[in-house]
Amino acid sequence: MKDAATMASPAALASPDAYADAVATAVRAAAAYYADGSTPLGDDEYDALVRTIEAYEAGHPAEVLPDSPTGKVAGGAAVGDVPHSVPMLSLDNVFSAEELEAWAAGLERRLGRPVAAWCVEPKLDGLAVAARYRAGRLTTLLTRGDGLAGEDITHAADAVLGLPQRLAEPVDVELRGEVLLTQEQFEHANAVRTEHGATPFAHPRSGAAGTLRAKDRPYRVELTFFAYGAVGLPGLGHSALLARLAELGAGTAAATAAEPRRCTTLDEVRQRIDGIAALRAALPFGIDGVVVKADAVADQEEAGSGSRAPRWAVARKLKAQHKVTRLLAVEWNVGRTGIIAPRAVLEPVVVDGVTVTYATLHNPADIERRGLMLGDQVFVYRAGDVIPRVEAPLVDERTGAEQPIEFPQACPRCGDAIDTSEQRWRCVRGRGCQAVASIIYAAGRDQLDIEGLGRTRAVQLVEAGLVADLADLFTLTREQLLTLDRMGDTSADNLIAALGAARSQPLNRVFCALGIRGTGRTMSRRMAAHFGSMAAIRAADAEALAGVAGIGVEKAAVIVAELADVAGLLDRLAAQGVGTAVTAPVVAAPATAPGADTGAEADTGTEADTGAAGASAPLAGQSVVATGTMTGPLAKLSRNEVNELIERAGGKASSSVSKRTTLLVAGEKAGSKRAKAEELGVRIVSPEEFAELVAEQLV
C-alpha cells in the first residue's frame, strides 16, 4: 500500500489549470490546518501536493501564482496583526534517511566544513507561539501567524502549563515554542466541554487551536507549553539554549522520554530519530516528526535563514499511522452549501493515542472506487495525524456477512431531491438546506464581520422564521429581534448597527460571504479587482471568469453555475444595498448582469471609459509585497486589509519577494524581505509613500 507522498508525481501537474487547482487546494488545506487544526488533506497528501507544485514552478517560473504555498511560512495561510520582533519561521521537511543525508551534506557544503554537532528533538504537534517577557514577567503571547505577525492570544496564557507568568530571573526575552494538549489534558477538556453542553474536540491539535483563541468560556482548559527557542539569549548553542530555558522555568521536552539529544555524527542522528519514532505511540503528546538542528551558534549564524525557514534546521517527517478496524455504518451529513458528505462510523480504535470512532469518506464515487462494504475490516489512518480517513478494505478478511452501503435517495436533512451530476452530491436546495451554516459563515470575520451573530443567534433567527438566507438578515427590524429569547435592547441595537456596517463592506467581502464553491478570501479579492462590481461578475461567462488568475476552465464553469444558483439572493441583496459598490475593473467586463437592473450598479463601462480602470489603476500589472510594521495611514490596517487595498488599486498582493515582485512596501523591521528586494532591484517605498500612491483607494 503506497502513501500519498509516494504516489504523487510532478507529472500530475501537466497544465496551468492543473497547477492553479493544486495551489488552490493547498491554500485551502493550509488555511484549515492553521486556523483550527482541521484540514481536507492528510499531512502526507499535503506534503506531496506541495512538492508537485514546487516541481511545476521550477519548470515554469513565469507562471508562479502569488498564492502559491511554496517558500511561505504556514503555507501562506496564517495571518496576524501583531508584528514579531524577529521573523518566526517554519521548517523545511525531509521524508527519508536519504533526504536527510542529502540535506546535511548541502549544509556542510554551504559552511565549507563539517557541522560541529547536531541536536535532535521531537517535532511537537501543536501551535507555534512566541511569549514575550519584560523584566522576567510575561507580557504578550502571540501565534506564529505568517511568520512576520501573529495573533494576540495573551488572554489564554494563564491556562498554559510550562509557560510561567514570571521567569526565575528578571530578563527581557522572547520564548518560542509549541502549545499543545497532552492526551490527558485532551480527555479532561472533552469531559469538561461535554458537561457544559459543548461539542467535544475532534483531536488534540484542534482542541489546542480552539482553546487558545477562545474568550469568555465558562470553563477552563489547561494546555502545555514546550520551549524550543528564544530571542534575546545570544551566544548559546541549541543544547545550551534549551538548558537555559529550563533554568528560567520554561517547560521543555527535556523532561520527556523524547528529550532533545546532542549528536556528533549523522549515524547518531539517525539512531536518535529512530528512537523517538519508536516512542511515538507511548508519548503523552502528539508528534509528527523529528527536528534536526545544527547545535553550534557559529554554524547557525553562518548558514543563515531563507524567507521561510532556517537553513541549519530541518524536520524529518514521520508517516501517518495506520490501524485496522471495522466499518459499522455510513452517515450522510449536509454541509453549508448543500454538499452531502458521507462519514464512516467505526468500531473505536486508538490511532496515535487518539480513539477514532468516525472517519472521512470523500464522496459516493470514492466509496464505490474503494469497494467498501458495511462490516468490512478497513485500514484507518490519521491523515497528517489530524483527520481520520478510511483508506481501503481488507478484502481477504471478508466473511460473506458484509452488506452494500446504501446511498441516500433523497436529501437526508430536508428530504428534497439530490443532484448527483457531479462526484460530490448536493441537495437541490443548495444553501437553503443549511441556512444556519451559511449565515454563520457569511457573518464571519473575514466575510461581513457581523459582530454578535454567532451560532446561537443564527439558530434563533432561522427557527423563528425571521431569516432563511443571507439577504433576510438585512430586512431585520429592532422589533423583530426583541421577540427572541435573551435579546435585550442593547443587544438588538448592537446587532442592527453591525448589520448596518456590513452593508458597506467592500465587494470582495460580500462575494466571499456568498460561499461560492471554488472561491475564498483571496479569489474573492481577485475577482472584485478584476471585474469591479457584482453586476460585472454576474455577467461574466466561463471564458471571462477563466481570465482571472487561479481560475481554470473547470472552476470557471462551477462558479458560473453557482452564480446562477444564487441569482435571486443577489437580487435581494442588491435591493438592500449590499454588494452594490462599483470600482474600476482591472479589465473590461460586460455592462449588465442577468436579472439585474440596468442602473448604476450594472453600468461599469469599458476599459476606455472607466477612468482608473485597466492600465490606469495605480498598481495595474504590479505584484506588491507588504512587510514589516505599517506606519502612518496604514498603521491601523491588518495585513489582510493591506492586501485588500493593494488589490483594490489593481495590483496583486503577494507574501514573498521574487523576481516577479515590482514593489515592496517596507514598514518598520522589514528585515530579510527588504534585503532581498534590494538585491533584486525591486522598487521600495515606505507605508506613507504607498498611502499617497493609492490615496483614492485608501478610504
Burial of residue 373 (CB within 10 Å: 0-12, 13-18, 19+) is middle
Alpha-carbon gap, residue 672 to 301, rounded angstroms: 14
- List the one residue out of 423, 391, 280 whose CA is nearest residue 4: 391
Q: How big is the chain by its Cα radius of gyration, in Å?
A: 26
C-alpha cell at 208: 489546542
C-alpha cell at 340: 452531502
C-alpha cell at 151: 495573533
The residues facing 132 across adjacent strands are 140, 174
305 SS3 class: strand
The H or E element containing residue 502 is helix 489-503
Question: 10 Å Cβ neighbour count for 447?
Answer: 23
Alpha-carbon gap, residue 450 to 509, rounded angstroms: 12
Distances (CA, A) of 311 to 144, 297, 674: 19, 13, 19
> C-alpha angle with apex 514: 509 to 517, nearest 5 degrees?
110
408-414's contacts with Cβ under 8 Å and 24+ in sequence apart are 408/332, 408/340, 411/334, 411/338, 411/340, 412/332, 412/333, 412/334, 412/340, 413/334, 414/334
Residues with active-site annotation: 123
Alpha-carbon gap, residue 358 to 341, rounded angstroms: 13
Q: Provide the residue type at 686 as one letter.
A: S
- List the one residue out of 657, 655, 653 whose CA is nearest residue 675: 657
Alpha-carbon gap, residue 648 to 235, rounded angstroms: 46
C-alpha cell at 35: 486556523
> Which runs of consecutive H residues, i.e. helices, occur in 431-482?
435-442, 455-463, 470-473, 478-481
Provide the angle, in degrees to the nearest 10, between the axes of the packed helices 204-213 and 16-36.
70
690 SS3 class: helix
